Amino acid sequence: MTLADHAAPAPRPGRRADAERNRAAIIEAATVVFAECGGGVDVREIARRSGVGMGTLYRHFPTKDELLATVLEQQLDTWLTDAYRQAVATEDPWRALTGFFEQLLGNQAGNRAVVESYTATGGPGSACVQRCYALIDQLRVRCADAGVLRPGVTTDDLFLLSGALSQAVLTTAESHPGQWRRLLRISLDGLSSRNAEPLP
């Protein structure tokens, strides 16, 4: 897998420019609104903020759920790309893993819809989860190979940790922003090979 696979979506040729602009505007507005208010917002609010009519919105996304899924996927995709880019540029495997989590979580600070989606389905659409898994897996293997990872830690564990910390990020977003970093540090330390007891 390369980063190029997830570059900005190539403008499909036969597509009108303003349609593409509208689609982008909808996603942008929806991203903000969903993050602020969660997945329960009125679709009208999104239409209003994107400056398009309801029909336009539903032409691009035939269902509210589809819009939500698209937004979540795209968001997580962007974040994953960012986080992974930095991780691969980091020599030290442990710092790579650490930095990946830090960046991923930092991005989704205060995003209601993202955490809701973890709760509802175990994460956004599977395609995106797949990718997240794959990236985490690479980082895990690097750490394992370097002998810095606690034995027995699986990719599932790391993925689950990501979701759990998302919750923490959201919880503290307004009252204690940044506190989640302490939790991240704690958890990651628990993942280091210094802790060798077998996991349940």
Binding site for DNA (CB under 7 A): 15-19, 21-23, 40-44, 51-56, 58-60, 62-65
Between 44 and 185, whose beta carbon lies closer to DNA?
Answer: 44
Report what 194 binds from a second copy, DNA, none; CB cut-off 5-8 Å by kind.
a second copy
**Cα separation of 14 and 12, whole Å?**
6
Report what 41 binds from a second copy, DNA, none; CB cut-off 5-8 Å by kind.
DNA
Residue closest to 199 by CA, chosen among 162, 158, 140: 158
Report what 22 binds from a second copy, DNA, none; CB cut-off 5-8 Å by kind.
DNA
**Cα separation of 64 and 70, whole Å?**
10
Amino acid at 170: L
Binding site for a second copy (CB under 8 A): 40, 112, 115-116, 118-119, 122-123, 150, 153, 156-157, 160-161, 163-168, 170-172, 174-176, 178-183, 185-192, 194-195, 197, 199-200
Report what 90 binds from DNA, a second copy, none; CB cut-off 5-8 Å by kind.
none
Between 138 and 172, whose beta carbon lies closer to a second copy?
Answer: 172
Q: φ, ψ for residue 21 (rounded to 5)?
A: -65, -40
Cβ 188 vs Cβ 101: under 8 Å: yes
Report what 156 binds from a second copy, DNA, none; CB cut-off 5-8 Å by kind.
a second copy
**Cα separation of 21 and 48, whole Å?**
15
Q: How far out from the chain centre does Cα 95 lie?
A: 19
**Cα separation of 26 and 67, whole Å?**
9
In the complex, what is the shortest distance from the CB of residue 124 to DNA, in angstroms, rounded to a whole number? 17
Between 10 and 17, whose beta carbon lies closer to a second copy?
Answer: 17
In the complex, what is the shortest distance from the CB of residue 167 to a second copy, in angstroms, rounded to a whole number? 4
Amino acid at 70: T
Q: How far out from the chain centre does Cα 10 lie?
A: 21
